[in-house]
Amino acid sequence: MTTAESQISVTSFTPTELYARILRDEPTFILDVRNEDEAKRSPIEGRKNLTSLNIPYFAFLEDEDGSTARTPQDRAIFVVCAKEGSSQYVADVLAERGYQARYLEGGYMNWGNFYDIRDVVSAPWGRIVQVARPARGDLSFAVISDGQAALIDPMRHTAVYTDLVAAAGAQLTHVFDTHVHADHISGGPALANETGATYYIHAYDAIHPIDMLPAVIAYTHTQEGDRFQVGAVTITTRWFPGHTLGQVNYRLDAPDGKSALFTGDGIFLRSFGRPDLGGKSEAWTPMLYRSLTERLPAMADEDTLILPAHFSTLDEGTSEGIFAAPYAEVKATNEALRPRDEAEFTSYVLSHLPVFPPEYVEIKRVNIGLVVPCEGKAAELELGKNICALAGA
């Protein structure tokens, strides 16, 4: 390293800062210095004003002048790599040449594991808190009321949830998964172990649909109509098969008459959960049709807040990053709920199935305890964004 280089102290930026910029839609130029495949597989996505350019760090090593010349000079450069080191190197090179360049702390790995926490509902009876992993498009929720807490679809980094519950001065009593996830590793079983709370899934999901092997984790079966009291609110299990056999929605009823429906991968705000990840799309699609057309109207009121487990693009949410909408609005805007007969629906679904990520079979194994990955493997399985919704739906 030359003297000139060592005198420049390039500064970093955090996932928190990046997400705030994305939500405000501030012009943000990402220079992604990962190799082409990784940059394509898991891009950093924003709204309109986020642009990105991929120039691998080894292109800077080979041809510093040429690579620098491809980087625009008239704006701040946010350099991103896989784990940090290479982005720091590239930011150094750019800063030395007068660029305003910073690098992402912890790299894409850190962005993928970044959680954003905010209240969806705050009322005299308590709160519904959204816990999002923006890079993955994953959403989970905490319900806190009268010193008790329940979690819905918590993710792998359990401290995020135990800290949240502790900060609220509450005790975790219920951990609900809407289904056994295929795209990310659930934090549910570990949270139940750590805290003594009960972990609930529908037993149909406790069998791996491809392996036909039963779960070896501890869980409590929950089925249609089960009711749970969490502080002042009631949570009711509603069966919603289609994405999986044991997909359930959890309906929350608050003392002020308000309600919410945690829909997991049943219905999303603009799409719905694909029915093929169990390898049985032709058998499961008609079931999904009945869930969408018959079960959903029976479990949601017009003003019931729909709270799904995923989003596909950030514009599904508000400018504050809240991904929730009343059922009436979802009905009006979600193409999935457009009235059509079963044959039309089935042929539409079967012709719009996105790629089936091979790691999804393995993630389901992890989620019912058939495989126990190390941290590195777990992180690798979860890299990139979820593909749980139908393409173009």
Whose Cβ is closer to other proteins: residue 205's or residue 382's?
Answer: 382
CA distances from 169 to 144, 151, 209 (A): 9, 15, 39
Do 178 and 247 form a contact (C-beta atoms < 8 A)? Answer: yes
CB of 33 to other proteins, least distance (A): 9
Query: If binding is defined by CB under 8 A, does position 112 make contact with other proteins?
Result: no
- Bridging pattern class, strands 259-264 and 248-253: antiparallel
Task: Kindly report the number of other CB atoms within 10 A of residue 246's CB atom.
Answer: 23
Judged on CB neighbours under 10 Å (0-12, 13-18, 19+), 78 is buried
Query: If binding is defined by CB under 8 A, does position 89 make contact with other proteins?
Result: yes
Query: If binding is defined by CB under 8 A, does position 61 make contact with other proteins?
Result: yes
Query: If binding is defined by CB under 8 A, does position 86 make contact with other proteins?
Result: yes
- Contact pick of 81, 129, 248, 309 for other proteins (by CB under 8 A): 81
Question: In whole angstroms, what is the distance from residue 349 CA to residue 304 CA?
Answer: 26
CB of 82 to other proteins, least distance (A): 5
Selected catalytic residue, list 22, 31, 80, 81: 81
Of 16-24, 55-63, 254-262, 292-300, which segment contacts other proteins by CB under 8 A? 55-63
Whose Cβ is closer to other proteins: residue 83's or residue 227's?
Answer: 83
- Contact pick of 5, 16, 58, 72 for other proteins (by CB under 8 A): 58
Counting Cα atoms < 13 Å in the Cβ hemisphere of 377 gives 8
Hunting for tokens 């040449």 — which residue is that? 97
- Contact pick of 13, 19, 29, 57 for other proteins (by CB under 8 A): 57
Question: In whole angstroms, what is the distance from residue 379 CA to residue 368 CA?
Answer: 17
Has 374 been annotated as catalytic?
A: no
Whose Cβ is closer to other proteins: residue 81's or residue 160's?
Answer: 81
Hunting for tokens 């891009």 — which residue is that? 43
Do 216 and 87 form a contact (C-beta atoms < 8 A)? Answer: no
CA dihedral 19, 22, 26, 28 (to 10 degrees): 90
Question: In whole angstroms, what is the distance from residue 124 CA to residue 60 CA?
Answer: 56
Of 7-15, 51-59, 72-80, 213-221, which segment contacts other proteins by CB under 8 A? 51-59
Residues that contact other proteins, how many (by CB under 8 A): 17
Whose Cβ is closer to other proteins: residue 58's or residue 220's?
Answer: 58
Residues recognised as catalytic: 81
| Positions in the binding site for other proteins (CB under 8 A) | 35-38, 56-59, 61-62, 81-83, 85-86, 89, 376
